[in-house]
């Protein structure tokens, strides 16, 4: 094996035979150019996607030797002589591995500086993979290094194969940490997903039977689905059902409310960002596309996107890869895309408000969800489902709906659809003083539109919605967050309605 000789000022590595070269008079010594052609540590000679490395040492010769040794095996190598710049570097970029010298002050050999800088690195990035380097190592120092958070400990003079093996292990560790972080992010999102109430779609009307049949046919395919329907018709429940019966059921289902994402954060939220790519980006972050890779991504309220954001979304859908903010490296994604909107998206295409090419990409199959007024036969089933659910939740297991209250519920036109019915029942269960829900405990009175008429004018619907929003906001003393939660809306969606109705 060829050793790195620290009697030399620095080393140059090549795949040629060993030769002697003389440096400038400043060094007045020989260096040895070492043949590394024999090295094969499973890292390969390509630097594609192998990670980024930062080397911190006050010796230029050491930096040069390290740089030349490991550069063929990683994506990028950066060197730094002044440890005071470490914090700034870590805040602007995420490194997979940091090689850190332990002594910087002239004549100091205690290694205390290295431990101080190690602690500062771990404060900035607790998951940093740091390998300490020193010419004055012993067992006690090595043990302390590991206890204080270092990943490994290398003593000068080193063996080249030892450095590359250590680097390979460190990169694998970092890769495992990144995957673990991604899994934890997924776990949080999936836990939130499992906490979502009413995972099952309730209904036996002909309109819903048609929806169920379509779900059965498309779920097993990889086709992109566009769900159309009014607010509260259950578009997200249908998206979840499609995922649950698909080949991707064991992988994540990630839902994103496009109406709640500001234009400035769109790319960061959906595509991810690198550390330091913008103010506040203190760590690298996977976007929703990467998190959902392997599973299903549900984009709700997609018609709310501006034309600029539509173009960015189209590029990702077409190329099946994302580019994180602050990165120049594309990352492949594998998702099943389901989108939804309550807006007349085909009319928007004709009005040049929605890209036709994007619509073609997202609506391989369209599913139109009927409003509750067109499936009134399902109201008793839905009421029974919600009463049982909230009866258990609020320790009222024996509560039922009186025939009179059911008549009130069946005579209403439900502009908020199933979501509105859900909240009406929850409120009634909470306020009920007996096991029978009475008509006076139902928020809405029968609407002017009879059960047979089925629809009311847009003006009437807007008036009903406005009054209801005003009532809920007043109930929560102007707390928009609580009002939005009760209404089943996002804060952004509620603010839009407040502006729309001039509340």
51 Ramachandran zone, left/alpha/beta (phi>0; psi -120 to 50): left
CB of 132 closer than 8 Å to CB of 102: yes
For 87, the token pair is 């914090």
What pLDDT is stored for residue 186 in this prediction?
66
Identify the residue with better confidence: 256 or 174.
256
The yes/no answer on whether domain 196-368 falls in CATH 3.90.1150.110 is no
Q: Is beta strand 285-286 parallel, antiparallel or unpaired with respect to 272-273?
A: antiparallel
3-class SS of residue 254: strand
**Which residues, listed in sequence order, are joined to residue 130 by a DSSP beta bridge?**
98
Residues 6+ apart with CB under 8 A from 322: 270, 271, 272, 287, 289, 290, 316, 330, 331, 333
What pLDDT is stored for residue 365 in this prediction?
96
Name the band, by pLDDT with cuts 50, 70 and 90, for residue 9: very low
CA atoms of 106 and 109, how far apart (whole Å): 9
3-class SS of residue 352: coil
Q: Buried (b) or exposed (e) across 158-186, using 16+ Cβ within 10 A?
A: bebbebbbbbebbbebbeeebeeeeeebb
Residues 6+ apart with CB under 8 A from 377: 204, 205
3-class SS of residue 394: coil
Name the band, by pLDDT with cuts 50, 70 and 90, for residue 187: low
Name the band, by pLDDT with cuts 50, 70 and 90, for residue 6: very low
CA atoms within 13 A on the CB side of 162: 14
Rounded mean pLDDT, 490-499: 80
Structure-token match 């009406």, residue found: 424
What pLDDT is stored for residue 293 in this prediction?
93
Q: Is beta strand 152-155 parallel, antiparallel or unpaired with respect to 225-228?
A: unpaired
Q: Please state which architecture CATH assigns to domain 380-456.
A: Orthogonal Bundle (1.10)
pTM: 0.55
CA atoms of 213 and 218, how far apart (whole Å): 9
pLDDT at 30 over 60: no
pLDDT per position as a tens digit, 330-355: 999 999 999 999 999 999 999 999 99
pLDDT at 45 over 70: no
CA atoms of 59 and 214, how far apart (whole Å): 68
CATH topology of domain 12-175: Rossmann fold (3.40.50)
What CA–CA distances, in Å, run from 329 to 172, 230, 273? 19, 39, 11
Q: Return the closest-CA partner of residue 135 out of 160, 109, 117, 159.
A: 109
pLDDT per position as a tens digit, 56-89: 988 888 888 888 888 888 888 999 998 899 888 8
For 176, the token pair is 């495992």
Q: How far is CA 24 from the centre of its chain?
A: 53
Rounded mean pLDDT, 11-25: 36
What pLDDT is stored for residue 135 in this prediction?
76
Query: Highest mean pLDDT range out of 58-67, 382-391, 476-485?
Result: 382-391
pLDDT at 446 over 70: no
Name the band, by pLDDT with cuts 50, 70 and 90, for residue 461: low
Average pLDDT, the chain: 80
CB of 342 closer than 8 Å to CB of 301: yes
Choice among 205-219, 366-380, 418-432, 469-483 with the minimum mean pLDDT:
469-483
Domain boundaries, the chain: 12-175, 196-368, 380-456, 459-503
Superfamily of domain 459-503: Homeodomain-like (1.10.10.60)
CB of 82 closer than 8 Å to CB of 117: no
Instruction: Confirm whether 12-175 and 196-368 share one CATH topology.
Output: yes
Q: Is beta strand 130-134 parallel, antiparallel or unpaired with respect to 336-341?
A: unpaired
pLDDT per position as a tens digit, 267-314: 999 999 988 888 878 888 889 999 999 999 999 999 999 999 999 999
Name the band, by pLDDT with cuts 50, 70 and 90, for residue 21: very low
């Amino acid at each position: 094996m060829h050793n790195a000789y620290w009697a030399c000022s620095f080393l140059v590595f090549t795949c040629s035979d060993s030769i002697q070269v003389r440096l400038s008079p400043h060094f007045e010594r020989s260096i040895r150019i070492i043949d590394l052609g024999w090295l094969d540590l499973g890292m390969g000679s390509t630097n594609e996607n192998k990670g980024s490395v930062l080397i911190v040492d006050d010796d230029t010769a050491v930096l040069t030797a390290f740089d030349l040794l490991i550069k063929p095996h990683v994506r990028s190598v950066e060197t730094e002589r002044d440890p005071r710049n470490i914090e700034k570097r870590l805040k602007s970029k995420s490194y997979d591995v940091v090689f850190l010298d332990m002594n910087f002050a002239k004549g100091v050999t205690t290694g205390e500086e290295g431990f101080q800088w190690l602690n500062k690195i771990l404060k900035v990035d607790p998951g940093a993979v740091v390998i300490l380097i020193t010419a004055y190592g012993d067992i006690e120092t090595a043990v302390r290094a590991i206890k204080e958070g270092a990943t490994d400990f290398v003593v000068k003079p080193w063996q080249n194969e030892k450095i590359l093996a250590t680097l390979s292990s460190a990169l694998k560790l970092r890769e495992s940490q990144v995957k673990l972080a991604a899994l934890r992010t997924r776990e949080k999102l999936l836990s939130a997903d499992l906490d979502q109430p009413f995972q099952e779609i309730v209904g036996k009307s002909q309109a819903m039977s048609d929806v169920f049949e379509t779900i059965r046919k498309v779920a097993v395919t990889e086709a992109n689905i566009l769900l159309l329907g009014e607010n509260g018709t259950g578009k997200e429940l249908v998206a979840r059902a499609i995922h649950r019966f698909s080949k991707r059921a064991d992988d994540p289902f990630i839902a994103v409310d496009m109406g709640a994402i500001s234009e400035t954060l769109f790319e960061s939220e959906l595509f991810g960002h690198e550390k330091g790519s913008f103010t506040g980006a203190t760590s690298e972050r996977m976007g929703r596309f990467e998190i959902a890779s392997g599973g299903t991504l549900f984009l709700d309220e997609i018609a709310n996107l501006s034309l600029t954001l539509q173009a960015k979304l189209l590029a990702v859908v077409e190329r099946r890869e994302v580019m994180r903010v602050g990165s120049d490296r594309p990352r492949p994604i594998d998702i099943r895309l389901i989108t939804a909107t309550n807006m007349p998206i085909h009319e928007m295409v004709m009005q040049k408000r929605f890209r036709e090419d994007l619509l073609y990409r997202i609506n391989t199959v369209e599913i139109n969800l009927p409003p509750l007024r067109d499936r009134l036969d399902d109201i008793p089933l839905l009421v029974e489902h919600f009463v049982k659910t909230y009866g258990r939740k609020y320790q009222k297991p024996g509560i039922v709906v009186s025939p009179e209250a059911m008549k009130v519920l069946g005579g209403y036109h439900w502009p908020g659809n199933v979501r509105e019915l859900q909240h009406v029942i929850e409120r009634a269960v909470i306020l009920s003083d007996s096991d029978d829900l009475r008509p006076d405990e139902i928020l809405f009175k029968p609407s002017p539109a009879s059960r047979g008429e089925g629809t009311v004018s847009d003006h009437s619907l807007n008036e009903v919605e406005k009054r209801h929003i005003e009532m809920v906001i007043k109930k929560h003393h102007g707390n928009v967050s609580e009002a939005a939660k009760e209404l089943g809306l996002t804060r952004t969606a509620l603010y839009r309605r407040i502006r729309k109705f001039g509340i």
